[in-house]
Structure 1
Amino acid sequence: MISRKSFLASVIMLLTTIALVGLVFARPEPAVVQTGLERLPLNLAGYHAIEDRFPEEVTRELNADISIYRHYRADAGTPLSLYVGYYGTAKGGRTGHNPYACLPGAGWAIVDTRTVMIPHSNQTTADKVNYVQARRDGLNTVMLHWYQTSGTKVLSTGVGQNIERIRGRLLRNRNDGAFVQLSMQVPDDQVTNAAAKLQQFAGNVLEQLPKYWPVER
């Protein structure tokens, strides 16, 4: 039998939760008042980028507030592609895009997936991101991807991002976020080298993104 004290504690917790949820949804959703991601440097870590855009049907499917799609190249090397899809609070702060579903749907067989640590430039901290290798017709897509919330919070899972989004909405009335993806397409004998290049470049992207994060009010 539940004691009177435990029952009262449960009721108080339930009422507090309801009050907090009500407070969140009673507040007006902030709107993006200043973008900035489009000013992410075209010249970065010895690479120079050219802008690109997805076909209209892909853009509609991604449904981002701000999309950055670029191909960075160093000298005559294989280019690496960067995609940043930003979703403001009004759109729930995240995408439905999932490489683990999208790659097989496009005919790519995923052969390796794990998390890797990307050190910051100060070498004292690091962020956990996802690594994926997928293969099709003798060609490999080597990819790093992660979620970013509040500009500086880097998360490897959608669950982690959801927790941060809830915290952000409660504490700052803001739960915007982005999906970030870096990728290269290479033959079998260049997979290891491509993974190393992506990890090095990812450190620079992680350092730069907070500087250009959109402003919401």
Structure 2
Amino acid sequence: MRSPRFWLVIVLLASTAFILQSRGDADRIPISQPLSQMPEHFGGWTAQDVPLTDDTLAVLGKGDFLNRIYTSQPAATTSSTTRLAPVSLFIGYFASQRTGQTMHSPQNCLPGAGWTFDSQRYTGLQDINGKRYKVGEYVISNGDIKQFVIYWYQAHGRSIPNEYRAKLYMVADAIRMNRTDGALVRVITQVLPSESLDSARERATQFTQLMAPNLPRFIPD
């Protein structure tokens, strides 16, 4: 028997497709920089690009994607478990979602890779410039490996941690602004066996606070 959540997703997708298609295909697409220009160095973090496989790109669809691993050298006064565990940054930006190319929820993608969701919550985050974001946090596990995840959907200066609300805003913005562009931002770090969950959360949060001020160049307000 299908869950209520399944039917809610089906109704939202069908409604979104109907409304967007009925309004034609002429989205207003704002100018943005390619995600490949995201800084490779900031706040002591250094990036290494991780190419997405052809199968992954086929699932994601037509968009601009960034998939990187950032590492940081430990400061003299900081423990290596706090600073040396890497952070994964994935951003998927879609200039238009009118033709069925939409942002994928972590709840749909990660279980297919063998991950289970141990906990979830919505919270607030403030970047180093004082801008506030509404984000989701997950703790996920796969066997003995545990990871901490921060994610949100971003579009038109708005951060949304809930996929259903993000789709509703997309429909509203398509009607009001003739724009369906938007992105998923996801930050992941492993919870090392030698550290606490709070330590991993702090690492992911501090990285996100440093990274987030760069986003408007790539995800237009």
Q: Quick check: TM above 0.5? A: yes
Which secondary structure does the structure 1 equivalent of 2:107 belong to?
Answer: helix
Asked if residue 154 in structure 1 is aligned to residue 154 in structure 2, the reply is: no
Offset, 1:48: 0.8
| Corresponding residue to 1:83 among 73, 90, 104 | 90
Asked if residue 114 in structure 1 is aligned to residue 126 in structure 2, the reply is: no
Offset, 1:136: 2.2
CA displacement 1:90-127 (0-9 Å, x = unmatched)? 445732x232233333222321211221113244x521
Q: How many percent identity over aligned positions?
A: 23
Name the larger-Rg structure: 1
Offset, 1:133: 0.9
User: Cα–Cα, structure 1 residues 187 and 34, in superposed 2: closer, same or farther, change >3 Å?
Assistant: closer
CA displacement 1:60-92 (0-9 Å, x = unmatched)? 111141000111110161110100011122445
Q: Distance in 1 between matches of 2:90 and 2:99?
A: 18
Asked if residue 212 in structure 1 is aligned to residue 218 in structure 2, the reply is: yes
Give the aligned partner of residue 98 of structure 1: 105
* More off after superposition, 153-162 vs 165-174: 165-174
After superposition, where does 1:132-211 map in structure 2 within 5 Å?
Answer: 132-150=138-156, 152-190=157-195, 191-211=197-217
Q: Distance in 2 between matches of 1:170 and 1:45?
A: 40
Q: CA RMSD in A?
A: 2.6
Count of aligned residue pairs for this structure pair: 192
TM-score, normalising length: structure 2: 0.76
Offset, 1:172: 2.1
* More off after superposition, 27-36 vs 62-71: 27-36
User: Cα–Cα, structure 1 residues 147 and 91, in superposed 2: closer, same or farther, change >3 Å?
Assistant: farther
Q: Distance in 2 between matches of 1:213 and 1:103?
A: 23
User: Cα–Cα, structure 1 residues 33 and 129, in superposed 2: closer, same or farther, change >3 Å?
Assistant: closer
CA displacement 1:166-214 (0-9 Å, x = unmatched)? 2322232111001111001233442321111111111223221012336
Counterpart residue identity of residue 198, structure 2: T
User: Cα–Cα, structure 1 residues 27 and 70, in superposed 2: closer, same or farther, change >3 Å?
Assistant: closer
User: Cα–Cα, structure 1 residues 44 and 94, in superposed 2: closer, same or farther, change >3 Å?
Assistant: farther
| Corresponding residue to 1:45 among 43, 46, 56 | 43
Checking the alignment, whether the CA contact within 8 Å between 1:93 and 1:178 is kept in structure 2 is: no
Structure 2 residues without counterparts, runs of 5 or longer: 1-18, 75-83
Which secondary structure does the structure 1 equivalent of 2:59 belong to?
Answer: helix
Offset, 1:154: 0.6
CA displacement 1:118-154 (0-9 Å, x = unmatched)? 113244x52121111112232112111110112x211
Q: Distance in 1 between matches of 2:62 and 2:191?
A: 28
User: Cα–Cα, structure 1 residues 127 and 31, in superposed 2: closer, same or farther, change >3 Å?
Assistant: closer
Structure 1 residues without counterparts, runs of 5 or longer: 1-20
Q: Distance in 1 between matches of 2:198 and 2:132?
A: 21
* More off after superposition, 101-110 vs 54-63: 101-110
* More off after superposition, 182-191 vs 47-56: 182-191
Which secondary structure does the structure 2 equivalent of 1:78 belong to?
Answer: coil
